Every structure is written in structure tokens, then in C-alpha cells.
């Protein structure tokens, strides 16, 4: 059996200087932790869910509100308003095909939420046919089979879930805080009271602030591509190869020109780790060949229409009923 999980470990470094800004969480701040057996503090620089968003973003062109040319032939769900203006898509939504904007839309006049159970082959009193679910998702948007989707719909006979087949995150070891600060200047009043009693909440006055960045002895990106999960979907070999090629292309594309996660977190792959990933042109060639080979298995772009609730607050499709 050739299917397996492929793991990558890439050394990263700030593109300039030594400081970087890690991801932060509400009421927590930077996610620091201790590794068993290690001395010094470790740091989560970027979470798995955030990296999934970065990887998926490689497929989308925000200037045209459409897919980039390399994946233009792949299906996805496009959400428009009643006037036909673009709103969002299954590539942009955190829940992908399970997004409220997808499920609460109309598809050829029919509720998407009501149509999907039949399309996925969900029947009360019968076990879930996981192959049928995977085949349906592949025709709607293959990215849901790469980055996962969970239909948490209590009104459906089953709630199918696809785990992430590609997991990536960034950690730093021997991490140390680099504390600095600054001040927001007011060129008119240096005393907020003189601005009619309006203060910093309204944007007036001189407002000092502190800033915490980090340095680290080592920054590493860890990625796992689960080729075995791709094979478990039971798709044809061409479709399975397409999913694998897509995962590798996303990683190569994301890291080709560095990894700018935030204003103060711009990282590049260190020389020592560059050989673990295929060159971008190699990944592009593999993806193009895979798309061509799987052409007969691919669906078309699905356009659905989302309308705001007429009155009050309507229950979202991501809520229990």
C-alpha cells in the first residue's frame, strides 16, 4: 500500500531582523507553552486553522473575486445576492460548503439546505455512504475534501464530517518576548480634555501603547499531507491524484515568495528547508496534468442566491434546530 501521511518540517526565519509577531487569541494573547524535556519557552506562531485559511487563499484572486488561473477549471460554490452581485464563495467561507451563506441560499429556486441531504445520499435508517458523500463534495468543491467540512445540521438524518487532510502549523522554540512601544500622536490637541472632553476612544489625544513581539532560537513550519485519507474517499485514481496535487501545489505556492502572516510577521523558508518542497513550477505542472486527467469527474461552478431575512433575526444554518 503506497498511501501514507507525508510530513514536512521546514525552518523559517524573519525576512528582516529577528523579531516577529505571533498569532494572538482573545483573553489569552500569545500562545506560549512548554515542551516536555525542553528548556525555555515555546510559542505557537500560527495555528492549524489559520494555516488552512492561508493555504486555501492561494486558490483565490481577490482582485477578480474568482479562482486563480491554475485552478479555474475546478468547481466551487459562488454565492451572489438577488441582483447577481458576488457576495462570497465556498473557497472564502470558514465552513466552506457548510457555510451559512451557502446553506441558507437558493439553488435553482430550491433551498440548498434541503437539497444537499439527497445529493450527499443521506437517508434515515441507513448508514452514511461515505464514498457517495465524497463524490458529491468533489463535484461541488474539491477543497472541502482537502481542508475539511462539517455539516452540523440536526434536521438532517446524518451530519457528515470530513477531517482536514492537510494540517499545517508554525511553532517557535527558545522564544523570548521583545517588548517595545509607541505613541499615537494628536497634531491638534495633546490633551484630550481640550478636544471637548473627547478622549482616546474617539481617537483624540496622545495615546501611548506597548507592543510585544518575539524572537526565537528556531521557527519551524510543520505540515502533514494525509495521502491515506485521500485514498479512503474511494474516488477514481485521477480524482485522488488531483486532491494530492492540489495540496502540494497550495504549499508550494504559499511558501514560494515567503509567508507574510501579519504586518510584523513576514517569514521566509530557510535555505536548509527549501529542498523539502517541490519547486513551484513542478507543482504547477503536476496540478495541471491532474486537472486534465480528472476533467470528466469535475462538476461546474454552482451559483446560489443568498437573501437577507425579511424581518428580525432568522436562524442560521449553522445553528441547531
Strand partners, 88: 79
Task: Identify the burial level of 35 via C-beta atoms within 10 angstroms of its C-beta, where 0-12 means exposed, 13-18 middle and 19 or more buried.
Answer: exposed
For residue 197, the model assigns a pLDDT of 66
Strands 166-184 and 42-46: antiparallel
Backbone angles phi, psi at 299, to 5 degrees: -85, -170
Query: Which of 290, 268, 303, 253 is CA-nearest to residue 56?
Result: 253
pLDDT at 316 over 80: no
Query: Do the Cβ atoms of 111 and 119 come closer than 8 Å?
Result: no
Q: What is the mean pLDDT of residues 126-137?
A: 96
**H or E element at residue 180:** strand 166-184
**H or E element at residue 87:** strand 86-89
- Domain borders along the chain are 5-305
**Mean of pLDDT over the chain:** 90
Its pTM stands at: 0.88
Q: Which residue would you say has higher pLDDT here, 274 or 39?
A: 39
Amino acid at each position: 500500500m503506497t498511501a501514507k501521511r507525508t510530513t514536512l518540517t521546514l525552518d523559517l526565519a524573519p525576512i528582516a531582523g529577528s523579531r516577529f509577531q505571533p498569532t494572538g487569541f482573545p483573553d489569552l494573547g500569545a500562545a506560549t507553552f512548554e515542551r516536555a524535556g525542553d528548556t525555555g519557552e515555546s510559542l505557537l506562531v500560527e495555528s492549524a486553522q489559520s494555516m488552512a485559511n492561508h493555504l486555501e487563499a492561494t486558490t483565490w484572486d481577490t482582485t477578480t473575486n474568482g479562482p486563480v488561473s491554475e485552478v479555474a477549471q475546478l468547481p466551487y460554490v459562488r454565492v451572489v445576492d438577488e441582483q447577481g452581485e458576488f457576495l462570497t464563495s465556498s473557497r472564502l467561507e470558514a465552513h466552506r460548503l457548510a457555510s451559512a451563506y451557502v446553506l441558507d441560499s437558493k439553488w435553482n429556486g430550491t433551498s440548498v439546505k434541503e437539497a444537499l441531504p439527497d445529493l450527499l445520499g443521506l437517508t434515515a435508517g441507513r448508514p452514511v455512504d461515505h464514498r457517495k458523500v465524497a463524490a458529491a463534495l468533489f463535484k461541488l468543491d474539491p477543497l472541502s475534501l482537502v481542508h475539511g467540512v462539517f455539516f452540523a445540521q440536526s434536521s438532517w438524518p446524518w451530519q457528515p464530517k470530513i477531517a482536514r487532510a492537510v494540517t499545517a502549523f508554525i511553532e517557535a522554540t527558545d522564544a523570548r518576548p521583545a517588548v517595545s512601544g509607541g505613541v499615537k500622536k494628536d497634531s491638534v490637541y495633546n490633551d484630550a480634555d481640550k478636544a471637548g472632553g473627547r478622549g482616546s476612544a474617539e481617537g483624540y489625544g496622545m495615546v501611548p501603547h506597548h507592543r510585544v513581539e518575539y524572537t526565537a532560537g528556531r521557527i519551524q513550519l510543520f505540515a502533514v499531507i494525509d495521502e491515506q485519507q485521500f485514498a479512503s474517499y474511494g474516488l477514481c485514481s485521477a480524482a485522488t491524484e488531483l486532491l494530492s496535487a492540489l495540496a502540494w501545489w497550495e504549499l508550494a505556492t504559499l511558501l514560494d515568495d515567503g509567508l507574510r502572516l501579519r504586518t510584523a510577521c513576514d517569514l521566509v523558508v530557510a535555505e536548509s528547508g527549501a529542498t523539502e518542497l517541490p519547486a513551484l513550477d513542478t507543482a504547477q505542472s503536476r496540478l495541471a496534468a491532474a486537472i486534465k486527467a480528472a476533467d470528466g469527474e469535475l462538476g461546474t461552478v454552482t451559483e446560489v442566491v443568498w437573501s437577507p431575512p425579511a424581518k428580525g433575526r432568522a436562524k442560521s444554518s449553522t445553528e441547531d434546530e
